[in-house]
Copies of this chain bind each other. A is one copy, B any other.
C-alpha cells in the first residue's frame, strides 16, 4: 500500500449509500478506498425477481470496479472488514491487512433478524444477497419437482405450500411473484401435480399488509394478492418455524418452503465502534451523520439510526441511503477543502412503492396515492430507470416485456449440484398437523 498524499477516505460497503458517497467525492481532492466483501453492487429492490426466476443475477448486479472505473480517485478492494481501530484510525480486514484512513464512512447495510431465533435461519432464508435469491429459487423449483414424483398426498401438499413471513414490501412482492410463478409460468409443465393448486401463505404479525403505507393502499394490495390466490394471515406472530412448516398462533401450516421477510438487523458496525445503537443494531449518529465524539467516522444507510424532525428514524430504504451517502460526500468535500460544513442532514421522503404480481402495484408519490395498472407501469419505469447502465435497462425491459406477454419465466434453473441440495425430508413426519 502506498501512503496517499491527499486525505484518505475509506468507504466500507458499496451499496446505495456507499456508492452515492463515492460519487459525491468524484471531484474532491481525496483518495478513496472502497471496500466491499463482494465484487458487485446489487439492486436489492429487484432481488425477489431473481428468487422467483424472472430475472438473472447479472441483470441486477454490476461489478463495483466497472461502476467506478472512470473515477480515478477511487481504488476498490474486495475484502471483509473485521474491525475498526478508531484510536489509530485504521480499518482491519479479515485477511490481516491494516488500512489507515483520515475519514471513514461505514455503509455496511443490514442483514436479517430472526428476533433471537437464529435457528430459524436455515429453514426460512431471507433475501439480501444473490446467493440468497438463487437458493430460494432452487428451493421453490425443487419443491415442485419433488411434488411431481411424491406418492403421499399429504407430503405433496406440504411441498406445494409456500409461506412468506412478513408483509412489508419484500414479503408482499415475494408472495405475489410466487403465486404468479405457480399459476402462470409453471401451469403447463407438470403431469402429476397442478401447480395452480399451490398454496402461498403470507403471514404478518401486524394488523395489515404494507404497514408503512396508507391504509387504503394496504387494502388495495390485500385485494390484489387475494385475486392471485394468496392467503393472508394477519395479527399473529410466527411462534415456530422448522423444516416441516410454520406455526402461527395455534395454527400449524405444513410447508416445505418458507421465506423470511420479517426483520432486519444492522451489520456489526456498532460493535466495531463500540458505539451507541438501538435494538436493531443501528448506530446512533449526529445530525451530520457522524458518530458522536468521532467527527471523522460517518455511518450511513441501513446501518445508521438517523432521526427526522419529530423523532421518527429515517427509513431503511434505497432513496434514504442514497441521500445520506451524497450528504456525507459533501461534508467530507467541504472539510478537506477547509470550508464550513453544510447544514444538518435532512431526509426528503419521495414516496413508497410495492408491486403485486404482473399488473398491480400500489404507490405513494409526492402525496398522491396510486394503485392498479398505472401504479405498476410507474413502478416498472422507476425501477428500470434506477438500474445501472443501459445494458441492464435493456435486458430487464426485454425480460419483463417477455414475461408480461407470455407469462413465461426465463431463469428457472436449479444449478446447485445435486449433492449440495438438501435431501428430501420425507422421514420427518412427527409433527403432522
A residues contacting B by CB (< 8 A) are 37-40, 56-59, 61, 63, 65-66, 69-70, 75-80, 95, 97, 129-131, 134, 141-142, 145, 148-149, 186, 188-192, 391-392, 394-395, 398-399, 402, 406, 408, 410-418, 424
Contact = CB atoms under 8 A, between A and B. Distances in A.
A416 B58 contact: no
How many copies of the polypeptide does the oligomer hold?
A: 2
Contacts of A410: 58, 391-392, 395
B402 A391 contact: yes
A43 to B, nearest CB: 13
A191 B75 contact: yes
Contacts of A38: 414, 418
B391 A78 contact: no
A131 B134 CA distance: 12
A65 B61 CA distance: 28
A134 B413 CA distance: 13
A76 B146 CA distance: 11
Given A59-B56, A188-B69, A413 B149 contact: no
A75 to B, nearest CB: 5
A192 B97 CA distance: 16
Given A130-B415, A415-B130, A408 B80 contact: no
12 contacts: A39-B141, A39-B413, A40-B413, A40-B415, A56-B59, A63-B412, A75-B192, A78-B414, A129-B415, A131-B415, A392-B410, A395-B398
A142 to B, nearest CB: 8
A351 to B, nearest CB: 30
A65 B391 contact: no
Contacts of A79: 149
Contacts of A408: 66, 391
A300 B131 CA distance: 36
A57 B415 contact: yes
Q: Which 10 A-B pairs have the closest CB atoms?
A: A65-B189, A58-B411, A56-B56, A78-B145, A63-B412, A56-B58, A39-B414, A75-B191, A130-B415, A69-B188
A129 B392 CA distance: 25
A37 B413 contact: no
Contacts of A391: 398-399, 402, 406, 408, 410
A80 B412 contact: no
Given A56-B411, A77-B149, A391-B399, 9 more contacts: A40-B415, A57-B411, A63-B413, A66-B408, A70-B188, A76-B189, A78-B142, A131-B416, A395-B395
A58 B413 contact: yes
Contacts of A411: 56-58
A392 B391 CA distance: 15
A413 B57 contact: yes
B415 A149 contact: no
A65 B190 CA distance: 7
A347 B69 CA distance: 51
Contacts of A398: 391, 394-395, 398
Given A188-B70, A394-B398, A417 B39 contact: no
